[in-house]
Amino acid sequence: MAAEIENGKTLSPEQIAEAEKYKNEANEYFKNKVYEKAIEFYSKAIEIDSSNAVYYANRSLANLRTELFGYALNDAVSAVKSDPSYLKAYYRRAAAHMSLGKFKLALSDFEVVSKRRPNDADAKKKFVECNKIVKKMAFERAINVDRPEKTLAEMYQSLESISIEDDYTGPKLSNEETVTLEFMKELMQWYKDQKKLHKKYAYKILYDIDAYLRKQPSLVDIAIPDEGKFTVCGDIHGQFYDLLNIFEKNGLPSETNPYLFNGDFVDRGSFSVECIFLLFGFKLLFPNHFYLSRGNHESINMNQMYGFTGEVTAKYSSTMADMFTQVYNFLPLCHLLNNKVLVMHGGLFSSDEVTLDDLRNVERNRQPPEEGIMCELLWSDPQPQNGRSPSKRGVGCQFGPDVTENFLKKNNLEYVIRSHEVKDMGYEVAHNGKCITVFSAPNYCDTMGNKGAYIILKGKDMKPQYEVYEAVPHPNVKPMMYANSLMNLIM
């Protein structure tokens, strides 16, 4: 049977068969979690038959799995347009909207499906779950209007008198004491043995790090001595045992072994609590030799969807989850190394006029906006071609080699380091060596098969050296275990 395509031409049986062949090959890649190849073959099918809703819906899901939320949304919209009766297309559009924190739009798609299939228990369940999220968010907004938000210090005042049970044998701090190296070593082993830091000390670390971060600028200047070593790590995403492996390979943080972790410490991986307390602890121990940049996942929408909020609530309390939201708002947005190298989580900007002073002046105490400098620092990605393009993620922008070159020239810089994207070798050098990506979560989500990497710099020449490593075993706790239940249903 022939099929009509958008330009009015009729596809031959051979063309239909070829498109289906590409789709079936893509399906196999998808089953084997080789998502980039799946996207490639779905695209080949779409090139032949651009009116097939199934091809768009399938590619939408593959784009979701690789966090290309903008592309996923575009594909879902195309699927709905191609066949408004194809209900899976509405699920895909809902998933893309949820990934972007647009829960009301997701709810309208679930409503379409539940109305068309009133007896479908699965459709009803998804509608009900999404409706709960929307109502909860509306309720929280309403009570926040009527009730002044407590500062983290005020929250902590009611918690610092917590007693320590007699049977607790883990790491301890006195009320007056900040973290020590001995405490940090004990904590690493305690977490490695899958035990929980007592809530009294967890709350204290949060209180202390909040007090410190509030005094920091949005852009932090770092001086690296000529003979000094400096390590830059990318996304960790709750992969605690891989974080320990970095310290095993590269040495513990110290005044002679400084680190910068470049955002996305949490979410997806189910040991995010362990990761963040370890990182915050080392920041308190070595404030001038251990640095943390905010990533796009240090935000409330991402945390609610991808697991961190659920994990904190399960291991501690919803109050602590609220505390983290406040702390994340004060994380610096970028770091300048030896006045030569700018490090940020996402990337560059939709304007050629952005200067380092603009970055210093960003008001960061907020949730990431959907546009502007702060948004782009957290969300943007490089592209191989010159110019700029709409973001494949639906937030931020994509920027080409010319954009990077112009920014570096304007600000008298040598290159930029960013993270934010999975890379097969854990790193990628782009834009004529001027834009480097580093990603430090190997075998991301236990599915991607990528290596992890970190970058070592020496102050005298700032030439990057790349250390690549494989994932290490971890306890049988699956990624996304604490993610929003609806996200697991539709992904």
Q: Which residues are catalytic?
A: 297
Residue with tokens 């602890």: 281
Q: Spell out the residues 6+ positions from residue 489 whose beta carbon is closer than 8 angstroms to its own.
A: 122, 125, 126, 129
Closest C-alpha among 258, 256, 276 to residue 266: 276
**What residue type is assigned to position 95 of the chain?**
A
3-state secondary structure of 467: strand
| Tokens 């919803």 found at | 318
How far apart are the C-alpha atoms of 1 and 12, rounded to whole Å? 8
Kind of pairing, strands 341-344 and 465-469?
A: unpaired
How many CB atoms are closer than 10 A to CB 22? 20
Neighbours of 40 (CB within 10 A): 16
- How far apart CA 15 and CA 5 sit, in angstroms, is 11
* Whole-Å CA distances, 382 to 21, 263, 417, 425: 32, 17, 11, 17
Strands 290-292 and 415-418: unpaired
CB 109 within 8 A of CB 99: no
Q: What is the largest CA-CA distance in the chain?
A: 78
Tokens of 133: 């999220």
Total Cβ atoms within 10 A of residue 455:
23
Which three-class secondary structure state does DSSP give residue 344?
strand
